[in-house]
Chain A
Amino acid sequence: MHESLRPYLRRVRWMRAWRGLAVGATVGGGIAAAWAALDWARLGNVPSPDPWLWLTAPVGLGLLFGAGIGFFRKVSPAALARSIDRRGGLSDRLTTAQSAGGAFKDALLQDSETQLNALRPKELYPLRFGRWQAGAVAAGTLATSIFLLGNSPLLLDDAQKAERAELKEMGETVERIARPLTQTAERESTREEQALGAELERFARELQKGRLNKEQALLKRNELSKEAERLMQERNEATLEHLSQAETAFQKLRPRDESRQGASGDAQKLEQMQTQLAQLQQDAQAMSKQLETLKARQQGASGEEAQQLQKQIDALQERIRQNEEAQAELSEAIRKLMERIQNHPLMKEIQALMNELRNDAEATTAGEPPKHTKEELEAMRQKLEELAKQLEDDEALQAFMESMLEALKNAEKCKECEGLGLGLGLGLGLGTKRSNGPAAHGGFFQNTERVPLSEQGASGQGKTSVTGVKGQRKEDQGRETYLEIRAPATLGKPSSVPYRDVLPQYRQQAERAIDRAQIPKEHEKRVKEYFESLEGGR
Chain B
Amino acid sequence: MPAEQDALWFRETFEKIRSELGKTIVGQNEIVEGVLVALAANGHVLLEGMPGLGKTLLVRSLSEALHLPFGRIQFTPDMMPADVTGTNILVQSESGARAFEFRRGPIFSGLLLADEINRATPKTQSALLEAMQERAVTVGGTRYALDEPFLVMATQNPIEQEGTYPLPEAQLDRFFFKLLVPFPTKAELAEVVQRTTGVHTAETQPVASGEEILRMRALVREVPVAPEVLDYALSIVVGTHPHQPHAAPFSDRYARLGASPRGAQTLVTAGKIFALLSGRFNLSKEDLRRAAKPALRHRLLLNFEADAEGVTSDRLIEEVLAHVEAGDKDPIKV
Contact = CB atoms under 8 A, between A and B. Distances in A.
B280 A91 contact: yes
B198 to A, nearest CB: 43
Given A102-B222, A104-B222, A106-B3, A92 B282 contact: yes
Given A104-B222, A107-B4, A82 B281 contact: no
Contacts of B199: none
B324 to A, nearest CB: 14
Contacts of B223: 104
A111 B222 CA distance: 16
B1 A107 contact: yes
Interface stretch (A12-20, A149-157, A407-415): A12-20
B332 A104 contact: no
Contact of B334 (A19, A78, A91): A19
Interface residues of A, number: 34
Interface stretch (B22-30, B224-232, B255-263): B224-232
Nearest to A11: B334
B137 interface: no
Nearest to A98: B226
Interface in B122-162: none
A26 B332 CA distance: 20
A97 interface: yes
Given A96-B225, A100-B226, A106-B1, A19 B281 contact: no
Contacts of A110: 1
A159 interface: no
B6 A92 contact: no
Contacts of A15: 334
B7 interface: yes
Interface in A102-146: 102-108, 110-111, 125
A97 B284 CA distance: 12
Contacts of A101: 224
B327 interface: no
B333 interface: yes
Contacts of B7: 104, 107
B334 A107 contact: no
Contact of B278 (A79, A91, A125): A91
A96 B226 contact: yes
A450 interface: no
A93 B282 contact: yes
A105 B2 CA distance: 11
A93 B222 CA distance: 15
B101 interface: no
Contacts of B226: 92, 95-96, 98-100
A94 to B, nearest CB: 9
Interface of B: 1-4, 6-7, 222-229, 275, 278, 280-287, 330-334
Given A15-B334, A96-B283, 16 more contacts: A16-B333, A16-B334, A76-B331, A82-B330, A83-B332, A91-B287, A92-B226, A93-B284, A95-B229, A96-B284, A97-B282, A100-B282, A102-B222, A108-B281, A111-B281, A125-B334
